[in-house]
């Protein structure tokens, strides 16, 4: 029986995933691009396959996971067991150092950590592509967290999803000055989970297909901005893309509204800052929650932090840099 422990970090998309062509396999309608964060925000997960267990168990932040969380973890574990040719059930213990399910991508780091630790505990020498596919089965965005730096999730076109996985565009050292100022306005749990929200959007939004059609152009513009470390274009594309995702959410019925008054203040404040500088120096993006991720570079970090911390309703600010991706921890750090 081998135990394996990994520390894995969330990623925050600048070209977003919102809408699936296959709900079971988490296959997206469009490609996405993200930045994997450093270990300021992180998940640690230990996995052990054990012949004495009668079912898989998952302890999340010290408590047994909810049934729906366990079901998703079992999907990842089943795929690992199938590949490794083993039948043993697994004990999984996972801890986050940031609020779970509040739009801070905890599912991304969580399922990516499960994929990495699970594959190793099962004795697999999995490739990055295999790890990305294992992680995707738990949560789509998790497929991007098995890699560090700047990452693209290729949407793929196969029915079995074997061509839908993440690849690294550039390592974290490509643009070390980049910062994500994570601005927490509401650490509570999300109102509508992303799976349910995506299902409502794909079924009811008229703007949705337009967004999907525009995606290839946006991906190439974003790849170019990253390659050239072109801050202004990177931020402009990021802000517009965030608004477009929230527009199709709003265009759904019933409308899906994740942003609140504090989120809107953050938007105004960042835009005001950019106007005062005469160029885009900071850019916001929001996932399925009201918390903001404000990208900037080290030069403006202090100013942007001060600006955001002065907004009424901002509860906490965490600053993260691009991170290197999953890291194996020694056995004495195991949570089991």
Tell me which of 169, 248, 288, 307 binds ligand PMV, using CB under 6 A.
288
| DSSP SS3 for 162 | coil
**Residues sharing a CB contact under 8 Å with residue 85, sequence separation 6 or more, in sequence order:** none
Residue with smaller CB distance to ligand PMV, 121 or 135: 135
Give the bridge partners for 57, in sequence order: 91
Cα dist from 66 to 70, 71, 310, whole Å: 6, 9, 37
Round the CA-based radius of gyration of the chain to a whole number and report it: 19
139 near ligand PMV, rule: CB under 6 A: yes
Q: Is 140 in the site for ligand PMV (CB under 6 A)?
A: yes
* Nearest approach, Cβ of residue 206 and ligand PMV (Å): 20
Q: Which stretch binds ligand PMV (CB under 6 A): 40-48, 55-63, 87-95, 137-145?
A: 137-145
Span of 14-22, 39-47, 166-174, 267-275 interacting with ligand PMV by CB under 6 A:
14-22
Q: How many residues bind ligand PMV (CB under 6 A)?
A: 13
N- to C-terminal Cα separation, the chain: 12
208: which 2 tokens? 């949705």
- Two tokens at 241? 């893309």
Residue 17 binds ligand PMV, judged by CB under 6 A: yes
- Interface with ligand PMV by CB under 6 A: which range of 91-99, 136-144, 209-217, 318-326? 136-144
DSSP 333: G
Query: 60 to 119, contacts with ligand PMV by CB under 6 A?
Result: 107
Query: Nearest-5° angle of CA 99, CA 11, CA 89?
Result: 70
**Of the candidate residues 46, 194, 215, 238, the single one contacting ligand PMV (CB under 6 A):** 194
Instruction: Give me the residues that bind ligand PMV (CB under 6 A), please.
Output: 13, 16-18, 32, 107, 139-141, 194-195, 287-288
């Amino acid at each position: 029986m081998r135990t394996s422990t990994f520390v894995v970090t969330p990623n925050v998309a600048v070209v977003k995933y919102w809408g699936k062509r296959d709900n079971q396999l988490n296959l997206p309608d469009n490609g996405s691009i993200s930045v994997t964060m450093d270990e300021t925000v992180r998940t640690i997960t230990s996995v052990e396959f054990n012949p004495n267990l009668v079912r898989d168990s998952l302890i999340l932040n010290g408590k047994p996971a909810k049934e729906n969380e366990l079901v998703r973890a079992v999907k990842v574990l089943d795929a690992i067991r199938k590949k490794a040719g083993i039948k043993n059930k697994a004990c999984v213990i996972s801890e986050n150092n940031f609020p779970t399910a509040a739009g801070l991508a905890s599912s991304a780091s969580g399922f990516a950590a499960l994929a990495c630790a699970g594959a190793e505990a099962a004795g697999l020498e999995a490739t990055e592509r295999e790890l990305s596919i294992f992680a995707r089965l738990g949560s789509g965005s998790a497929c991007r967290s098995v890699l560090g730096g700047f990452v693209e999730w290729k949407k793929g076109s196969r029915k079995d999803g074997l061509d839908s996985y993440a690849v690294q565009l550039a390592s974290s050292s490509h643009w070390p000055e980049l910062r994500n100022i994570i601005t927490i306005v509401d650490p509570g749990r999300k109102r509508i989970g992303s799976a349910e929200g995506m299902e409502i959007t794909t079924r009811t939004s008229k703007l949705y297909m337009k967004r999907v059609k525009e995606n290839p152009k946006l991906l190439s513009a974003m790849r170019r901005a990253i390659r050239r470390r072109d801050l202004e274009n990177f931020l402009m594309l990021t802000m517009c893309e965030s608004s477009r995702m929230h527009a199709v959410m709003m265009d759904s019925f019933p409308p899906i509204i994740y942003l609140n008054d504090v989120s809107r203040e953050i938007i105004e404040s960042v835009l005001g800052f950019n106007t005062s500088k005469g160029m885009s120096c900071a850019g916001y993006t929001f996932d399925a929650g009201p918390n903001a991720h404000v990208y900037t570079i080290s030069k403006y970090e202090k100013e942007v932090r001060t600006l955001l911390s002065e907004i009424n309703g901002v509860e906490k600010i965490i600053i993260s840099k691009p991170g290197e991706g999953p890291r194996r921890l020694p056995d004495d750090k195991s949570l089991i």
